A = this chain, B = another copy of it.
Amino acid sequence: MALAGEFDIIARIFAPLATDASALGLKDDAAVLTVTDDHQLVVTCDTLVSGVHFLKDDPPRSIGYKALAVNLSDLTAKGAHGYVYTLSLALPREMDMAWLEAFAAGLAEVQDRTGISLVGGDTTATSGPPTITVTALGLVQHEAAITRLGAKPGDRLYTNGTIGDAYLGLKLLQDPSRAQAWALSESDVAYLTDRYRRPPIDTDAALLIRNFAKAAIDISDGLAADAEKLCQVSHVGAEIEVARIPLSPAVQKALQAAPDLLRDLVGAGDDYAALVAVSEGSAVLFESEAESHGVPFVQLGTITGADGGVRLLTQDGRVLALDRKGFTHF
């Protein structure tokens, strides 16, 4: 069955996701939101194109999950929690309602975990690949939002996620024979591909970032590239110790089999963890608060002066040369 009419799609598929009264049940062209003096709004926008940001054959539920999760990652890195979002879908005419229902179930899963809800959007036909844009609004207490600006030499650099899982997951989906070359078990492969399709969501990190971070960014274009972006805006440099980069057991296995992968893991990849600069003076309290909230922040480096840029140091003190610093789309 091809798609039903746009109104039917909204009523059947998306209206159940519009749980906030501001959405007017998606029966209007716009949502009306109340924001108070106490809070600021954080606005972020990400577009996912089939074949670029997800694979054509990815399960639609994971596509919905990912479309919303990558925006939550941006909000979390600002110290904000999710409030509402708009959803734009440009879909080929042959997509069916079952696809849309599964897609919406992925959105619903993120909504349930984060409290964000749908307030509007647009659904159109396209002759091109499915294209999904989410614009998400988050709330943060007044003056508490964290940006890329504010890191100072001497600050410690932390992340709360393992690096490279999604990158290897993508490579395995593109060529399953790599599993053997990398000595990975079936469950390793399942873990890594799931991390590509379903980025981690760690909303508890938002509170810690808000309370402790001097600057933060989410790692969506690779650890090296996003560290570089944070450093550029803050006018600082950074040293990252390769041995301290958190790696999942599956990635550790793959690296043992193919050590050269390291360069790619840190140079590209959709990790969707936060990279956070914390002053030395608050580091002890930050670490103990992180532990008590169950957020696995790990120190992987230090902010330095701007001269050095971002340098990844191996255990024997060499600088890891990168072919490309992160993923760019053109």
* A285 sits at the interface (CB 8 A): no
Q: How many copies of this chain sit in the oligomeric assembly?
A: 2
Which chain B residue lies CB-closest to A138? B30
Residues of B within 8 A of A123 (CB): 329-330
* A160 sits at the interface (CB 8 A): no
* A174 sits at the interface (CB 8 A): no
Give the number of residues in A that approach B within 8 Å (Cβ atoms): 73
* A181 sits at the interface (CB 8 A): no
C-alpha spacing A40/B33, complex, angstroms: 5
Shortest distance in angstroms between A151's beta carbon and chain B's nearest beta carbon? 13
Judge whether B46 and A122 touch: CB under 8 Å.
Answer: yes
Known contacts A40-B32, A131-B131, A133-B133, A122 near B330 by CB under 8 Å:
no
* A55 sits at the interface (CB 8 A): no
* A177 sits at the interface (CB 8 A): no
Which of A5-13, A262-270, A303-311 has 4 or more CB atoms under 8 Å from chain B? A5-13
Give which listed residue, B29, B30, B88, B131, contacts A126 with CB less than 8 A.
Answer: B131
* A301 sits at the interface (CB 8 A): no
Judge whether B124 and A53 touch: CB under 8 Å.
Answer: yes
* A69 sits at the interface (CB 8 A): no
Residues of B within 8 A of A119 (CB): 43
Shortest distance in angstroms between A122's beta carbon and chain B's nearest beta carbon? 4
Judge whether A49 and B120 touch: CB under 8 Å.
Answer: no
Residues of B within 8 A of A87 (CB): 45
Chain A, range 34-51, C-beta contacts under 8 Å to B = 34-37, 39-47, 49, 51
Can you list 12 pairs linking A and B with CB atoms under 8 Å apart? A6-B330, A7-B328, A29-B44, A30-B74, A30-B75, A34-B142, A35-B35, A53-B124, A88-B88, A88-B135, A125-B329, A126-B129
